[in-house]
Amino acid sequence: MRTRPASPADVGALRFALLDTLTSLTGDAVEADTPAAAHLPAAALLHPATPTPGSDRVDDLVALATAVVHGADGHDPATTGVDHFVLAVALLLRHRLDDGGWDTDLTDLPSAVAHLHAAMAALPPRHPAAKTIIEALPAFLDPGRPS
Amino acid sequence: MTGAPDDPRGRTARPATRPSAWFARPLNAGPVAGGLRKRGVPAGGAPAAGAPSGGVLADGAPAGGASAAGASAGGALVDGAPSGGALAGGAFAGGASAGGAHRGPARRPDARPDALDGLRRRGAGILLQRDAAGAAALARDAERRCLDLARSWLASGDPAAAVRALETGRGLALLAATRYRDVPATLDAARRRDLALRWRMSAPGREPAALRQEILDVMCGGRAEPPDPPALPEIGDVLGALDADALVYLVPGAPPTPGWAVMIAAGGGRPSCIALPGLHDAGAPAADGLEMLGGWAWRVAMGPLVERFLPSLPPPSGRPHRVVLVAMGGLSRVPWQAAHHNGRYAVQAAAFSHALSAGMLCGSAAAAPVPVAPVGLVVGDPATAGPALPGARAEACAVHRVFYPGARYVGRRADGSPARSGPGTAAEVRDWLTDTRPAAGAVLHLACHGAPAHLALAAPAPGAGDGRLTAGEVGAALAGAPDRAIALVVLAACGAGHDEAAGLGTAFLAGGVRSVLSARWHVPDRAASLLLFMFHHFLMAERRPAWDALHRAQLWMLDAGRTPPPRMPGRLLRHLSETDPARAVAWSGYVHSGQ
């Protein structure tokens, strides 16, 4: 087939938009100047002291994180790992907010865990985000409770 | 096989609908040309010399022509100058060049071009009607007269001129549907209350010409005519760019004159045509079942096209033959893909897309494709006064979570509880249509009740009735957001693409949406959920273009050996076991338009 292809999305711009959304939710508590550090405000959203974001903000978070993972080329393991971790957090937050209503085979939790697994598989062992992910694990193991 | 009644997604509550109920509305929507033959038109089709443009001539010009020239049976050779190459059993008429000779009985000046110009100038009259209904009625009348002219040109072997007439008629219909605005309100908004006052004080239809022109200048910069029809080579190029083999106009006859198929091949530009004696609005079986209608559709049009025209085209590479249908008049209500013969459907021979006109197709093709990502808005069975649609709800939930997990979900969830992100109101959809933030995404899936020109969405407040989203509101919203890029809108609502020019599908396409999937007829709820899940599967999981994704989904429904993809949720798997996806009513109701 020779249908004209669509121009790819600007994933770099999407990552910055995602970082802006994350930092707006965590305030000054976490410093993250570049998308490479997006795992820090993402993990902070799972902390009990962080106010639970509103529904619209979580929807935006999931949308941007999904668009980033979907549009990324996957060439850089560290970037891939951070992208997947942020999406895992976003989906976990949405799962908490949804509070039922979906059939068991359509809840967000399995997807969140799958992206967490993808993040762990992609990140180089000594990457700073690896430690963040390990610290966030309890939130995924007991999704009803913040870590 | 069939379990519980599979309700259609109609606008209002209906009894368990017969599978064929979607086409129960009579197909003879408009008057036929036979009733117009009254003002001294020569039998051969040439109008009387000196007939005034747009009036007398258009009233009567074409009616007598076709029967004399080309109404032999079975898709007959009309002209001795075949363009597509000789074919077994006949040839397609190549036709005279634009403006060339036609088969009139006498050497009189051909007044038809002037008649077409006169009709084209009716754009001003359409835009200056006192209400939308008047504009639509005037446009319908003009479109009918253009259709008469097209038949006349076809009968005299000039398909190129016929294409101009058909495009002009559709352009006028589109003008009424998408550009008509309430005149005084528009003038008030433009701070020209002086003009609005003079307009209100004028007798309807007898406004001074200077006032009309002044108003048109304010409303539309003085340009009140539909856009020029695209040139034939441009249509051919666009078909190539869209990976389609041909565009085919289906023109209903007006007994005793035949109907016609007018074909433009990709990369070509010279149209050909074939007379189809049985093709007319009133010729379809009235209400005796989809199978009977499909048999009729094969006999009168799809048989000759599939068996004779398609084999004359270069074989496509890596895809099936693909045809864009422009069905005129009541023929737009026929599910051509479900035409069948000897147990085989037309959709198994070719993929079909639909277009309101070649001009509209060219407009869609000119826009840059928008990437499809798993982000957008999914509306699932919002609470309305109509009955619940559990199939639509299951479909929306599945489509959201499996293919568009980044989308916002509004309406009702699988268990019937309200979605966290919103009840699914018209305002939520309008806001999304104009949202240029990257988080908005570019795909809209609407699984709800519908009608040709509006969707039934959740009420803005309890007890406030249905929250309607009209085609006019869609057009206005998209016109106000020129930077918004939307890749795909799926109107998974009964009949939402039915009334072509004034319908929702046209409103989305005219507003710049690249591809639209719409239900032309009442579709069984649970069967539709399977078809649409499979459409998104082929689109997102297998990365097929929208037209091909629909075609593959339709073939999957027809395949007795079909296997569901691993990610099909349990609720849809149950639908699969409770319905018969191969029934034509289950898969043939949706059509693709646009890129």
**For A33-55, what is each residue's pLDDT tens digit?**
899 999 999 999 999 888 889 99
Closest-CA residue to B176 (of B133, B118, B220, B130): B133
Name the residue facing B438 among A1, A17, A97 (closest C-beta). Answer: A17
Contacts of A4 in chain B (CB under 8 A): 241, 369
Kindly report the number of other CB atoms within 10 A of residue A56's CB atom: 12
User: Is the previous residue joined to B405 through a cis bond, with omega within 30 degrees of 0?
Assistant: no
| Separation of alpha carbons A115 and A133, rounded Å | 11
Q: Is the model more confident about A101 or about B90? A: A101
Q: Do A66 and B401 touch (CB under 8 A)?
A: no
Distance CA A97, CA B287 (A): 49
Query: Which of A4, A55, A111 is closest, CB to CB, to B405?
Result: A111
CA dist B595 to A65, B105, B409, B544, B592, Å? 28, 44, 25, 12, 9
Query: Which domains are assigned to chain A?
Result: 11-141 (1.25.40)
SS3 A116: helix
| First CA to last CA distance, chain B | 37
Residue B191 burial (CB count, 10 A): 10
User: What is the architecture of the domain spanning B369-594?
Assistant: 3-Layer(aba) Sandwich (3.40)
Using CA atoms, how far apart are residues B477 and B480, in angstroms rounded to an integer? 5
Among left, alpha and beta (phi > 0; psi -120 to 50; other), residue B112 is: alpha
Chain A residues within 8 A of B419 when measuring between CB atoms: 101
Helix (H, G, I), strand (E, B) or coil at B333: helix
Chain A contact residues (CB < 8 Å to B)? 1-9, 13-14, 17, 21, 55-56, 59-60, 62-67, 70-71, 91, 97-103, 105-106, 108, 111
The pLDDT assigned to B105 comes to 54
Tokens in use for B187? 């003038």
User: Hey, are the CB atoms on B408 and A65 less than 8 Å from each other?
Assistant: no
Q: Residue B300 has what pLDDT?
A: 95
Chains A, B: CB contacts within 8 A come to 107
The alpha-carbon gap from A90 to the nearest alpha carbon of chain B, in Å, equals 10
CA atoms lying within 13 Å on the CB side of residue B92 = 26
First to last CA, chain A: 50
CB contact under 8 A, A59 and B421: yes
Instruction: Determine, for residues A1 and B402 on separate chains, whether the beta-carbon distance falls below 8 Å.
Output: no
Q: Which residues of B touch A16 (CB under 8 A)?
A: none
The rounded distance, in Å, linking the Cα atoms of B547 and B517 is 9
Nearest CA in chain A to B319: A1
Q: A30 near A76, Cβ under 8 Å?
A: no
Nearest by CB to B545, which of A3, A91, A101?
A3
Give the Å distances, CA to CA, from B227 to B223, B298, B456, B560: 9, 34, 32, 47
- Cβ–Cβ below 8 Å for B407 and A63: yes
Contact between A106 and B414 using a beta-carbon 8 Å cutoff: yes
Q: Is the pLDDT of residue A128 over 60?
A: yes
d(CA B129, CA B137): 10
The three-state secondary structure class of B283 is: helix
Question: Per-block average pLDDT, block size 10, for chain B (595 residues)?
Answer: 50 31 30 28 31 26 34 35 31 43 60 94 90 91 95 95 96 90 89 92 89 90 84 95 96 92 90 94 63 91 96 92 95 92 96 96 94 96 90 96 98 93 96 96 95 86 78 93 96 72 89 94 87 98 96 97 96 94 92 96
Closest to B371 (Cβ–Cβ): which among A9, A65, A106?
Answer: A9
Give every strand in the sheet of B321-327, ordered side by side: B272-276, B259-265, B246-251, B321-327, B350-354
Between chains, do A14 and B438 touch, taking CB under 8 Å as contact? yes
Determine the residue of chain A that is closest to B322 in CA distance. A1
Q: What is the overall mean pLDDT for chain A?
A: 91
Radius of gyration of chain B (CA): 24
Q: What span, in angstroms and rounded, lies between the C-alpha atoms of A22 and B362?
A: 42
Q: Rounded CA gap, B150 and B147, in Å?
A: 5
| DSSP tag of B385 | S
In angstroms, what is the C-alpha Rg of chain A?
A: 15
- Asked if residue B95 lies in contact with residue B282, where contact means CB atoms within 8 angstroms, the answer is no
Closest chain A residue by Cα to residue B243: A3
Residues of B within an 8 Å Cβ radius of A: 241-243, 318-319, 368-375, 397-398, 401-402, 405-408, 413-415, 417, 419-421, 437-441, 487, 545, 548, 569-571, 595
ipTM of the prediction: 0.94
Q: What is the pLDDT of residue B235?
A: 96
DSSP code for B470: E
From the list B371, B375, B570, the residue facing A63 with the nearest CB is: B375
User: Which strand (E) or helix (H) includes residue B477?
Assistant: helix B471-479
